[in-house]
A and B are shown apart, each in its own frame.
Chain A
Amino acid sequence: MSSTTIAKDPKVARNEQVVRSFIQAWRDLDVDAAMSHLAPDIEYINQPLDPIVGADGVRKLIKSLIDRTHWVDWELKNVFGSGDTVCTERLDCWDFDGKGVGLRLPCVGMFDLNDDGKITGWRDYFDIALWTDNGGPTLEL
């Protein structure tokens, strides 16, 4: 095997940075900042629930979650991309009531980005029961 190394694809690096900024917006509980990274035709899927399509519906859901959140950190275990897709392996830590982190949710989010660096697809994979049994609000509109 050759020991050649290659610089990271600039588009992949950019896409990873966009996804990190999107996740930072959740930490900041800033709906507008989060939405600024999404394409108008964004499709958001909490697997295996029905997708939410379009910026209006997605804003509504994101706002409903952030409104019910006192503090949140999405701890990033791994972030890496390829082509138009970025994988985030996370531990999402939620404090819904100001009494401390009541939910630690192991989660993978897959993000697809367009050429402009906006997120067009966001698919989160996690155990829905773990979410709902520990204070997670509804994920449907």
Chain B
Amino acid sequence: MARDDTQYTLPREADTRNEAAVRAFLRGWDDQDLDAAMAQCAPDIVYLNQPLPPIVGQADVAKLIGSLLEPARKVQFKLLNLFGSGDLVVAERLDQWDWDGNGFTLKLPVTGIFELTPDGRIREWREYYDNTHWTRYGGPSLEL
């Protein structure tokens, strides 16, 4: 839903809660803890790596995230900006990946837009980044 009204008001508590959910989700990646990450996701989650096809539903999203975390030696998502508004949270990041124990050879500038349900679960996650940069520095396939 477009958000064009500059006058709208927003419940601050929901922003804080949604921001915490997204932080916990991203911490799950840092900890390479798939269950912790998935605990923040709604059953019908849609995960979109722009401009690739969307991945829909907990089972497939867990499969894809697992396929990324499994081969990684170390993952560290550096948060540059994270804030919410209404049911949205943006996370501007530098995602750092170590695939082979030789340090963070992939440093991916990326911004994720998260849409959350009224009970604070992630129902849509849209990632914006350069896919060539991801694959060039060892990023695995992002398609199932």
Tell me if A48 and B130 are in contact (CB < 8 A): yes
Determine the residue in chain B with the shortest Cβ distance to A131: B130
Q: Within 8 Å CB of A78, what residues of B?
A: 2-3, 88, 113
A79 at the interface (CB under 8 A from B): yes
B110 at the interface (CB under 8 A from A): yes
Tell me if B129 and A76 are in contact (CB < 8 A): no
Tell me if B4 and A79 are in contact (CB < 8 A): yes
B90 at the interface (CB under 8 A from A): yes
How close is A41's CB to chain B, nearest CB, in angstroms? Answer: 19
Knowing A125-B128, A127-B51, the reply to whether A76 touches B4 (Cβ < 8 A) is yes
Task: Count A-side interface residues using an 8 Å CB cutoff.
Answer: 36
B window 91-136: CB within 8 A of A: 92, 108-111, 113, 126, 128-133
Tell me if A128 and B9 are in contact (CB < 8 A): no
Knowing A48-B130, A76-B2, A87-B90, the reply to whether A125 touches B109 (Cβ < 8 A) is yes
CA distance A76 to B5 in the complex (A): 12
Q: Within 8 Å CB of B113, what residues of A?
A: 78, 87, 89, 108
A6 at the interface (CB under 8 A from B): yes
B10 at the interface (CB under 8 A from A): yes
CA distance A56 to B4 in the complex (A): 32
Knowing A80-B88, A82-B83, A87-B90, the reply to whether A13 touches B130 (Cβ < 8 A) is no
Determine the residue in chain A with the shortest Cβ distance to B80: A110
B window 42-96: CB within 8 A of A: 50-51, 81, 83-86, 88, 90, 92
Q: Within 8 Å CB of B10, what residues of A?
A: 5-6, 8
CA distance A78 to B13 in the complex (A): 20
Q: Within 8 Å CB of B109, what residues of A?
A: 45, 47-48, 123, 125
Knowing A89-B113, A125-B128, the reply to whether A6 touches B2 (Cβ < 8 A) is no
Q: Within 8 Å CB of A71, what residues of B?
A: none
Knowing A48-B109, A85-B81, A126-B50, the reply to whether A3 touches B3 (Cβ < 8 A) is no
Tell me if B9 and A7 are in contact (CB < 8 A): yes
Tell me if B128 and A106 are in contact (CB < 8 A): yes
Tell me if B132 and A8 are in contact (CB < 8 A): no
Tell me if A79 and B130 are in contact (CB < 8 A): no
21 residue pairs bridging A and B, Cβ less than 8 Å apart:
A2-B13, A5-B11, A5-B12, A8-B6, A8-B10, A13-B7, A45-B109, A48-B108, A48-B130, A78-B3, A80-B86, A81-B85, A82-B83, A85-B83, A87-B83, A87-B113, A125-B128, A126-B130, A127-B131, A128-B130, A128-B132
| Additional A-B contacts beyond A48-B108, A79-B4, A126-B128 (14; CB < 8 A) | A1-B13, A6-B9, A8-B10, A47-B129, A76-B2, A78-B2, A80-B90, A81-B85, A82-B83, A87-B113, A108-B90, A108-B128, A127-B129, A129-B131
